[in-house]
Homo-oligomer: A and B are copies of this chain.
Amino acid sequence: MTTKPIYIKTTLDVVCGKWKAVILMELVNGPLRFAELKRKLPQIHHQTLIKQLKELQEDGLIERKSYAEIPPKVEYKLTSHGESLHHLLHDMAAWGEYHLSVQKPDRYSS
Contact = CB atoms under 8 A, between A and B. Distances in A.
Interface residues of A, number: 43
A17 to B, nearest CB: 9
Contact of A8 (B8, B28, B96, B103): B96
Copy total for this chain: 2
Interface in A47-61: 58-60
A7 interface: yes
Contact of A10 (B2, B14, B16, B100): B100
A99 B78 CA distance: 15
B16 A96 contact: no
A93 B22 contact: no
Given A3-B93, A11-B92, 20 more contacts: A2-B25, A3-B94, A5-B22, A5-B25, A7-B95, A7-B96, A8-B15, A8-B89, A8-B92, A8-B96, A9-B21, A10-B108, A11-B99, A12-B16, A14-B96, A16-B16, A60-B102, A81-B103, A85-B95, A88-B92
